[in-house]
Structure 1
Amino acid sequence: MALAAALTLAGCNDDSGSSGSAAAKKPEIKVDGAYIPEPTMDDMAAGFFTLTNKGGAADRLTAATSDVAGAVTLHSTKGGVMKEQKSFDVPAGGELVLASGGNHLMLEELKRKPKRGEKVAMTLHFQKSDPITVEVPVKEATYRPEQHDGSSNASHDTHMSHTSHASHTSH
């Protein structure tokens, strides 16, 4: 999955006309630790993952789509209040963490209710980078990545999501 994303991003063309330094100034985005808790409601579900940008330019997650949802929206949660967002920054050399209790995706108008053990295709759309399609595993409704204790220490949670992604997706 990461290899496919890297190959997809390697095919991006920078229209600025400069060739040598342009490659270093592009986003290089990878998706890790993606999961959807098995939805308890028939019409919506949440999606979580970490985007890592090893490139020299920032990008923005502007939208997401999925074949199981009529709409996928981006949401932030601050002080217990959920609010729809138009986009999320993916900083150069940094990460965007979507986690329970924080930024997340909402899969709305579900066409069918995904079940634990299934994988749901989701395509992430960016301001600069080509779209990335990931197969997102559906976990039990109470699933939380290892070391996620509900704290707001996102950087600690992110490091753990990389190892838990590898251990939970190998077959």
Structure 2
Amino acid sequence: MTRRTTVLSVAATVALAASVALTGCSSGGDEPALKVSGAFIPQPVSDMAGGFLTITNSGGAADKLTSVTSPLSDDVTIHETKNQKMVEVPSFDIPANGKLTLERGGNHIMFMELKSKPKQGDKVRVELHFEKSDPIEVEVPVEAPHHNPRQH
């Protein structure tokens, strides 16, 4: 092997190794990046309450909201509204570079058999659980019973 062939062979090997390393770094490395905003619970008028919020995913991978826990209730579920009926669901999709909106008249969180009735101005601790992301804890403000930010 000549010196020129050896130099070209080494250069080709280095270029191939660099190409493989760069490909490994960029393939499938995207993760969900979740942020919660607009959370509120209307002051309950019975032994149950609804919860509403928006989860924005600025990451390149989708995730799912799989459950919600809170000291307010041992029975917290997530519901979809279809044909004006609430239906409990196992999860909600949070698309990559998208958002999940839980709002009055639509998909929402249900707190059943409340341990106490929080009043307007109180805050309720809620923990959101996801398929891929770590749980997010939110201090959710209690608003007036008929509060609806979409009407403002």
Normalised by the length of structure 2, the TM-score is 0.81
What corresponds to 2:76 in structure 1? 72
1:126 aligns with 2:118: no
Cα deviation code 1:26-45 (max 9, x no counterpart): 0000000000000110x210
| Displacement of 1:23 | 8.2
| Displacement of 1:19 | 7.5
**Structure 2: 5+ residue runs without aligned partners?**
1-22
**Structure 1: 5+ residue runs without aligned partners?**
1-17, 150-163, 165-171
The residue matched to 1:116 in structure 2 has which SS?
coil
Cα deviation code 1:73-118 (max 9, x no counterpart): 0001122111000000000000000000100000112110111100
Aligned partner letter, 1:39: P
**1:1-171 matched pairs, under 5 angstroms:** 20-21=25-26, 24-41=29-46, 43-145=47-149, 148-149=150-151
In 2, distance between residues paired with 1:144 and 1:111?
24
Q: CA RMSD in A?
A: 1.8
Q: Kindly tell me the number of residue pairs found equivalent between the two proteins.
A: 130
In 2, distance between residues paired with 1:84 and 1:76?
6
Whether the 8 Å CA contact 1:75–1:105 is kept in 2: the answer is yes
Tell which structure's C-alpha radius of gyration is larger.
2
The residue matched to 2:26 in structure 1 has which SS?
coil
Whether the 8 Å CA contact 1:24–1:55 is kept in 2: the answer is no
Aligned partner letter, 1:129: S
In 1, distance between residues paired with 2:29 and 2:56?
16
In 2, distance between residues paired with 1:19 and 1:39?
51
Sequence identity (%): 53
Aligned partner letter, 2:43: E
What corresponds to 1:14 in structure 2? none
